[in-house]
A and B are shown apart, each in its own frame.
Chain A
């Protein structure tokens, strides 16, 4: 005997496609698939018709042709004869440069402001909420433009630093703040790879050494932890760690022959020569992204610290921990679990907002590939697609990092 809810076997009626839960989802998906196919087909046919009408085609050949424009701020070698691909790479590196710089300063600023918002000092607390509210509620584009205007309109011209008897001296004799940007001493190697010109290999070597030091110090800390667990006494690691950080780098830099190229006010009558010029657009973008995102990070930090229940602080002091150790051993490890995921998405936001570089003429990927290359070659579809591909890759990478972090930090529950 069958219950009434059992499907009646045998006959299949058309109405069952919609009314029988076994088939309904398939029916709906089939309808969705058909609609999707129709709309994609419609869009593509429109695209082809438009391209045919304007005698255009889709081709990525322009990537190999010379770009034909100059970029003022490049970290890799680039001339106007370089290919469009090279220009895009310059843009990618510039995007990553400003994003990394802004992530670092925004974090520092945000953590300071977030902690100060919880200070017992009324005035400081109010000042910090003022900072947060002001910067969160005004578009980042306005901040970028304002800081760019400060740099270009308020800073003195490079000319005032020039000559035997300049109007103003450089900071410490080596740093000049001008309306074209900041001139700082540039490091270079006298006997590194690649001769006088220098090559990127020198810097890679330095970075590799720094990574070596990082792993060595982590090994030292692990060893100290082990000794502490075995004997109860923690060996001091401060001096050994400091030595591990400084000595190898110092040796490598000495062997490579590090020296500095100072900005020279006497070499030229029109502009400062030598040194490293950090252009005004880069400064504007960097500072604006830092203060803007710093305000958001401050809120995340505050929320994270407040999310740790008061009982934790009380328990820690009941155990006899001093306030500083309570903070570093009890509060922060728990707060970081709350703070870090939104922090990483703020980093993602910085990377995406760095595309506003185009408003102040900083040559990031949006300004090179999506700006000048697009306008000169007229390859709108190809350029915009590549641009989106780049940002998608970055954001997928960052989300992957976030997922790894989240799964490693997940509360281990029984």
Chain B
């Protein structure tokens, strides 16, 4: 039947025509621009205003940045080179680079030590951040705190070795008793570690050589961006376990435990970090035994850790609350005790939900490490506002230094938040 029509007309095309290109005003950049930049008159005005704004910013900053001077000894020398033309004096960054990075008191011959610790940090962080890497690398992660401590502070090598020994003994005891009950293993492990550390407190001074391999550097000599990094890494890694404990405590059915955690969390969250840093700098010393001096760095670490632990606890509580009740009931019905249920069922899921929140807190915490400049510690901001801007050579120079400070924080914080988004996609096992 279908043939009849074909025979009745002179010509019928049997194949499909190739697709023609869209009209020039409905395709390509023109269409994109019309859709995305000039959809309506108001939109067009907005676009033009935005372009003008971008032009203004670039016109004032680009020549200044491109014309920058990277080699000069002082601001006066810089101005001489520029001869009145607009240009940045980035020479301050090159000349004061060690101060910006390590502070002004860290011995110059030892700069390789924090640098090496910084490089090792990436190796140690890699297996934690990326699960595809071989699990053997976690050994590096476990060793990193001790190695980094020894590299940065120097002194006798026995201090970190005995600290590590305490951890190992604690772990062995935990491993031995955890089969009986988690609590026995956990507290037994802690007790064993404390015993080892106490004993080593007597042994280490005896073993310490006159001339250690690495010269000891006191904490008050640390500064610059290194200080921000040290505070950020230490406090984040210490505050996650503490935050988990606080969150579980807040969920506890035991009123006393619950109220201790609630009061701690709400108190810390109710006051600004600055007041806690004041506590660290002027008040905390009163709470230690009179004959003991605890250095400022440690006091600040204690307070910042408490601060971020309270926030992390709230984030994890949100994760715990988001789990369906069925998960708790399922764990109970399998006959798991509290520690097993938490370790095997509840926390893995709750922590996964809390990752974005924890990363937000970590970014916030890293930014907040700049606050230590207020209690006269010389972190990167303290260095810029203190020794560098006050020096005769570089007095009167602001933008280059602040731009640099912005850059180093932006790179790290933006990187962390991008990582967290990637991780969220990786862990999204539901709704596939």
A binds B: yes
A interface residue numbers (CB < 8 A to B): 25, 28-29, 32-33, 36, 43, 46-47, 49-51, 53, 119-124, 127, 133-134, 136-142, 145-146, 149, 153, 352-353, 355-356, 358-359, 366, 370, 374, 380-381, 384, 387-388, 391-392, 395-396
Per the bound structure, the CA–CA distance linking A239 and B15 in Å amounts to 70
Contact for B47 among A121, A381, A396, CB less than 8 A:
A121
Question: Do residues A145 and B385 form an inter-chain contact, with CB atoms below 8 A?
Answer: yes
Interface residues of B in 50-67 (CB under 8 A from A): 50-51, 53-54
Interface string of B257-273 (1 = CB under 8 A from A): 10010000001011111
Which of the listed residues B37, B286, B409 has the most CB atoms from chain A within 10 Å of its own CB?
Answer: B286
Question: Do residues A388 and B271 form an inter-chain contact, with CB atoms below 8 A?
Answer: yes
Question: Do residues A137 and B37 form an inter-chain contact, with CB atoms below 8 A?
Answer: no
Classify the interface of chain B: helix, strand, loop or mixed: helix
The interface residues of chain B lying within 8 Å CB-to-CB of A133 are 414
Per the bound structure, the CA–CA distance linking A25 and B254 in Å amounts to 6
Question: Do residues B373 and A141 form an inter-chain contact, with CB atoms below 8 A?
Answer: yes
B interface residue numbers (CB < 8 A to A): 35-37, 39, 43, 46-47, 50-51, 53-54, 253-257, 260, 267, 269-275, 278-279, 282-283, 285-290, 363, 367-368, 370-371, 373-374, 381, 385, 398, 402, 405-406, 409-410, 413-414, 417
Per the bound structure, the CA–CA distance linking A141 and B380 in Å amounts to 12
- Pick the 4 closest A-B CB pairs, nearest first: A122-B36, A137-B413, A139-B367, A380-B282
Contact for A370 among B46, B278, B285, B288, CB less than 8 A:
B278
Question: Do residues A134 and B381 form an inter-chain contact, with CB atoms below 8 A?
Answer: no
Question: Do residues A46 and B271 form an inter-chain contact, with CB atoms below 8 A?
Answer: no
Per the bound structure, the CA–CA distance linking A279 and B257 in Å amounts to 48
Classify the interface of chain A: helix, strand, loop or mixed: helix
With both beta carbons as reference points, the residue of chain A lying nearest to B35 in the complex is identified as: A120
The interface residues of chain B lying within 8 Å CB-to-CB of A50 are 285-286, 290
The interface residues of chain A lying within 8 Å CB-to-CB of B43 are 119-121
Q: How many A-B residue pairs have CB under 8 A?
A: 147
Per the bound structure, the CA–CA distance linking A341 and B242 in Å amounts to 26
With both beta carbons as reference points, the residue of chain A lying nearest to B417 in the complex is identified as: A137
With both beta carbons as reference points, the residue of chain A lying nearest to B402 in the complex is identified as: A146
The interface residues of chain A lying within 8 Å CB-to-CB of B270 are 388, 391-392, 395-396
With both beta carbons as reference points, the residue of chain B lying nearest to A152 in the complex is identified as: B398
Which of the listed residues B46, B253, B272, B385 has the most CB atoms from chain A within 10 Å of its own CB?
Answer: B272
Per the bound structure, the CA–CA distance linking A155 and B290 in Å amounts to 51
The interface residues of chain A lying within 8 Å CB-to-CB of B287 are 43, 46-47
Question: Do residues B290 and A120 form an inter-chain contact, with CB atoms below 8 A?
Answer: no
A132 to chain B, nearest CB (A): 11
Given A43-B287, A139-B367, A384-B279, is A352 in contact with B374 using a C-beta cutoff of 8 Å? no
Which of the listed residues A49, A127, A137, A353 has the most CB atoms from chain B within 10 Å of its own CB?
Answer: A137
The interface residues of chain B lying within 8 Å CB-to-CB of A149 are 398, 402
Question: Do residues B254 and A120 form an inter-chain contact, with CB atoms below 8 A?
Answer: no
Known: A139-B368, A142-B402, A145-B381. 7 other contacts (CB 8 A): A28-B257, A53-B290, A137-B414, A142-B370, A356-B374, A380-B278, A388-B275
Given A47-B287, A127-B54, A381-B286, is A391 in contact with B36 using a C-beta cutoff of 8 Å? no
Contact for B272 among A352, A359, A396, CB less than 8 A:
A352
With both beta carbons as reference points, the residue of chain B lying nearest to A381 in the complex is identified as: B283
Given A120-B39, A149-B402, A356-B374, is A392 in contact with B271 using a C-beta cutoff of 8 Å? yes
Per the bound structure, the CA–CA distance linking A366 and B282 in Å amounts to 14
